[in-house]
Amino acid sequence: MNAANRPNGAQVVGRIAAVLRAVSQTMPDGAGTSDVARAASLARPTAHRLLSSLAEQGFIDRDQRAGRWLLGPELYLMGAVAAERYDVTELARKHVAALAEATGESAFLSARRGGETVCLMRRDGSFPIRSFVLYEGKRFPLGVASAGLAILSFLPEEAQRRYVAQASLEQEFGAEHAPGALLERIATTRERGYAVNPGLVVEGSWGMGAAVFDPSGQPAWALSLTGIEPRFSVERRPELGRLLLAHAHRLTRAIAGER
């Protein structure tokens, strides 16, 4: 590679971040080199070179028998340190469990990471038919799925409009995620306080979400419920929305150190 084509430092960091995110979304099974290259939009040799370098530093591990890449021990150690500041899962655990128990649906905690949400916790309820669109480690862009819509809807208006204009969500997720349609759902979400995803990611799989705020008042997490369409009837949705908002409010207060 000549100097003109060599990536600069910021590009290298971006590629490394994309590789780590790609591997994280395949845990616990791991990913092949081609899978990582495709998910990170990299050439296969570039992906392999980065994965090998990360493995040398302990950020990536390699299952030699299966030939698959996994997150490495160094990330676990760093994560344990970072958890003291960022991890709210222990505070959220009882709220996720209570939502699953009260509704019978699958309940979740998701966190905002830049322009995405990442599912941190899942708890299944008693209803035997479940949706598996969302699971621990799964990422969606803001505005896609109920958790991401709830968080996006309570960002400052200028941040919302800038994100919606640049995200191009309709290319992957369909016309219902075009800017105009998404802005309408944002307005509706702000009006009622909770978000509804009426099967827009996977047909027949519905979700509802409520934003959880950090001490500065910014939406940083979301509690959500998912299930099959008949479980989210027009008569039941207000009840589910009230439950989500109540638990989101209590969790927000707990994060701020209030009783």
Report for 13-27, 86-100, 230-244: range of highest mean pLDDT: 230-244
SS3 227: strand
Q: How far apart are the first and last CA of the chain?
A: 59
Residue 31 is given by DSSP the state: B
pLDDT surpassing 90 at residue 10: no
Would you say residue 91 has pLDDT above 60? Answer: yes
Q: Report the distance separating Cα 257 and Cα 247, nearest Å.
A: 15
Q: Distances in Å between the alpha carbon of 252 and those of 55, 90, 130, 153?
A: 38, 13, 27, 16
Q: What would the two tokens of residue 192 be?
A: 């009622």
d(CA 151, CA 174): 20
For 186-230, write each residue's pLDDT tens digit. 999 999 999 999 999 999 999 999 999 998 899 999 999 999 999
Query: Whole-model pTM?
Result: 0.71
Q: What is the model's pLDDT at position 86?
A: 59
Q: Which of 69-78, 186-195, 249-258 has the lowest mean pLDDT?
A: 69-78
Tokens of 29: 């099974």
CA–CA separation, 14 and 9 (whole Å): 9
Q: Which domains does the chain have, with CATH numbers?
A: 9-77 (1.10.10.10), 87-255 (3.30.450.40)
Task: Say which range, 20-29, 95-104, 222-231, has the weakest mean pLDDT.
Answer: 20-29
Mean pLDDT of 52-63: 92
The predicted pLDDT at position 5 comes to 55
pLDDT, residue 148, reads 96
Q: Angle 18-13-110 (CA atoms, 0-180°, nearest 5)? A: 45
Q: Which residues contact 244 (CB under 8 A, 6 or more apart)?
A: 99, 194, 208, 209, 210, 223, 224, 225
Residues 6+ apart with CB under 8 A from 96: 107, 108, 109, 121, 122, 123, 223
Decide if pLDDT at 2 tops 90: no
- Read off the pLDDT of residues 99-130 as tens digits, 9 standing for 90 and up: 999 999 999 999 998 899 999 999 999 998 88
The pLDDT of 81-103, averaged and rounded, is 85
